[in-house]
Amino acid sequence: MGSKGIMGPVAPSKLDSLMATRSKSSHRWLQEHFSDPFVKKAKAEGLRSRAAYKLEELVERDRLLKPGMVVVDLGAAPGGWSQWVRQALGDSGRVIALDILDMPTLAGVEFLHGDFREDAVLSELEATLNGTQVDLVLSDMAPNMSGVDAVDMARTMHLAELAMDFADRHLRVEGTFLIKLFQGVGFDDYVRELRKRYAKVSIRKPAASRKRSPEVYALAQGKRAAT
């Protein structure tokens, strides 16, 4: 019987390569995250998320908050935006937050735990409002990313459409809608739809938004009356 050749080292599988790439990417992200000045500032000031500084810049530039306002925060977890709004409003107004992820309690913030894409969750949010019109709708929602651009963009735009529909129904005339968007397929059409509904639409990139991120924020002010 002839002897079998000795098997050499097995080449790494595609999965191994992918995991190694992700591990390096995660390590770089962690290094960047903990050296980020906005992360350090949020920790020092007791804020739940560096994202609060994105909202702070966007709101203060246009003086979007006034005492007594009703604010709905879609995609609120871990609570950075809701926390900042609650502090800015003081004891006045209402802040209603919603997310598919759980969120630790924030004093003065009404939190609904559920998936915004589900009718039952939307109904619960509408019941919480109990006919009250909203002054400001915030949406920092984003889907879990798969890494496949076409899939991720479709999911992102679906959430954005749902948020715009919510604002159509519950935002008062002259109210404001602020939403995170990602530039790509469907972005231009979405902005065109906003311009039909609002007197002024601006695209902003706050300083706390990482430069390499494709995220931008659409600020739609002066909701038009339905025709």
Indicate which CATH number applies to the domain containing 151.
Answer: 3.40.50.150
Residues 41 and 59 in one domain: no
Q: Establish if 7 belongs to a structural domain.
A: no
pLDDT tens-digit series, residues 170-194: 999 999 999 999 988 999 999 999 9
Residues 35 and 63 in one domain: no
140 known member of a binding site:
yes
Residues 126 and 219 in one domain: yes
79 known member of a binding site:
yes
Q: Establish if 1 belongs to a structural domain.
A: no
Residues 93 and 19 in one domain: no
pLDDT at 148: 83
Residues 135 and 188 in one domain: yes
**Annotated catalytic residue: which of 66, 180, 200, 223?**
180
81 known member of a binding site:
yes
Domain range spanning residue 139?
49-223
pLDDT tens-digit series, residues 190-227: 999 999 999 999 999 998 777 778 899 999 999 999 86
Can you give the pTM of this predicted structure? 0.79
Confidence of residue 13 (pLDDT cuts 50, 70, 90): low
62 known member of a binding site:
no
Q: Establish if 94 belongs to a structural domain.
A: yes
Higher pLDDT, 41 or 188: 188
Q: Establish if 9 belongs to a structural domain.
A: no
Residues 94 and 30 in one domain: no
Higher pLDDT, 25 or 105: 105
99 known member of a binding site:
yes
pLDDT at 1: 38
Report the number of distinct structural domains present in the chain.
2
Q: Establish if 2 belongs to a structural domain.
A: no
Q: ∠ at Cα 45 (42, 47), nearest 5°?
A: 55
CA distance to 119, 130, 172, 186, 212, per residue, from 116 (Å): 8, 18, 20, 20, 28
Residue 48: name the closest of 91, 105, 108, 113 by CA.
105
How much of the chain, in percent, has pLDDT values that exceed 90? 63
Tokens describing residue 180 = 């995170």
- The region, left, alpha or beta by phi > 0 then psi within -120 to 50, assigned to residue 68 is left
- Residue 223 bears catalytic tag: no
Confidence of residue 45 (pLDDT cuts 50, 70, 90): low
Residues 36 and 57 in one domain: no
pLDDT tens-digit series, residues 92-125: 999 999 999 999 999 999 999 999 989 999 999 9
pLDDT at 227: 65
Residues 173 and 71 in one domain: yes
pLDDT at 10: 42
Residues 137 and 160 in one domain: yes
